[in-house]
Amino acid sequence: MLYAPPPPLPPHPPKGVFVTGTDTGIGKTLISAALTRAWHGTYWKPFQTGLAEEPGDTETVQQLTELPQDHILPPAYALQAPLAPAAASALEGITLHPKQLTLPEAPHAPLIIEGAGGLMVPLTKTMLMIDFIAQLGLPVILVTRSNLGTLNHTLLSLEALYQRGIPVLGFITNGVESPQNTQILEDVSHCRPLLHVSPLTTTPTATTLRHIAAQLPPWEHYWRPRTA
Ligand SMILES: Nc1ncnc2c1ncn2[C@@H]1O[C@H](COP(=O)(O)OP(=O)(O)OP(=O)(O)O)[C@@H](O)[C@H]1O
Ligand SMILES: C[C@H](N)[C@H](N)CCCCCC(=O)O
Ligand SMILES: [Mg+2]
């Protein structure tokens, strides 16, 4: 069984959620865009790397959500190398100061904050992404694969979050749906599945994004007093 129980969610709506994943390329941006669209919130990607190879996630979310500009905040750090922030910043001679970052003012609540890669990605030699999540104090949404291999990755990530007392709003599976994997994850972790995203037959568009967003309840739904 997991080493620690799930930390309780805040009794009242928090300022937002932190979207993390079990890996890079797992679907955090696609799902962050869907959450931002569904909740008409404000998106922020504090640590962007890999700009030398592909458009940043901020640009992608802007395009997919088609929301006005003030729903999208600029990254705190924008790096070129497709590496972890600690590695890209060293390569580019930039010093990151993650401890100085606080929750930005969001023109539209809630804040949807996207990490970079997974939980144990180094921001500096002494600070991991999971430490930054704890510093911001928001509950987490964990994006994970739906297929074989996900049980280990997902439970490892949830255990790390639980051990640090970081509350988890739920997990979102991405890929070919596996109700069996979803059920065993919920049974073992007591973390709730929020959404499943199946493989899209085309590159994501604003239209497909709207369809994903339409499957999500409104933000307030997650914070209604639970009936016993
Ligand atoms: N369900 C899906 N169907 C089709 N393509 C998908 C799906 N989910 C994600 N993708 C695509 O896979 C690629 C990686 O997804 P995404 O950029 O969301 O990953 P990420 O977790 O945000 O990565 P990073 O750690 O770099 O931020 C993107 O091109 C995205 O459009
Ligand atoms: C470049 C990539 N798209 C992300 N922005 C950064 C992913 C860092 C992953 C580090 C690792 O886990 O090895
Ligand atoms: Mg991303």
Give the pLDDT confidence of 9-30 residue by residue, as tens digits.
999 999 999 999 999 999 999 9
For residue 26, what pLDDT is reported?
98
- Hunting for tokens 């009794």 — which residue is that? 11
How many whole angstroms from 223 Cα to the centroid of ligand 2? 32
| 3 state SS of 184 | helix
How many whole angstroms from 117 Cα to the centroid of ligand 2? 5
pLDDT confidence tier of residue 225, bands split at 50, 70 and 90: confident
Residue ranges lining ligand 2, Cβ < 6 Å: 24, 49-50, 82, 84, 116-118, 121
How many whole angstroms from 116 Cα to the centroid of ligand 2? 6
Q: Which of 23, 29, 47, 146 to mutate to test the pocket of ligand 1 (most atoms within 8 A of CB)?
A: 29
| Chain mean pLDDT for the chain | 97
Tell me which residues have their CB within 5 A of the ion that is ligand 3.
28-29, 57
Over residues 161-185, mean pLDDT: 98
pTM higher than 0.90: yes
Whole-angstrom Cα distance, residue 34 to residue 216?
8
The closest residue, in CA terms, to atom 2 on ligand 2 is 82
**Over 70: is that where the pLDDT of 164 sits?**
yes
**pLDDT tens-digit map of 63-122:** 999 999 999 999 999 999 999 999 999 999 999 999 999 999 999 999 999 999 999 999
Share of the chain above pLDDT 90, in %: 97
- What one-character-per-residue DSSP string does 46-65 give? SEE--TTTS--HHHHHHHHH
On whether 114 is known to bind a ligand per the annotation, the reply is yes
- Does residue 45 have an active-site annotation? yes
Which of 1-10, 49-58, 219-228 shows the lowest mean pLDDT across its residues?
Answer: 219-228
**Over 80: is that where the pLDDT of 149 sits?**
yes
Share of the chain above pLDDT 70, in %: 99
Q: Which of 32, 121, 132, 143 to mutate to test the pocket of ligand 2 (most atoms within 8 A of CB)?
A: 121
Whole-angstrom Cα distance, residue 78 to residue 51?
7
Helix axes 28-39, 57-65, angle to 10 degrees: 40
Q: Which domains are delineated in the chain?
A: 18-219 (3.40.50.300)
For residue 227, what pLDDT is reported?
60
How many whole angstroms from 71 Cα to the centroid of ligand 3? 17
How distant, in Å, are the alpha carbons of 40, 43, 74, 148, 154 from that of 69? 12, 10, 10, 39, 33
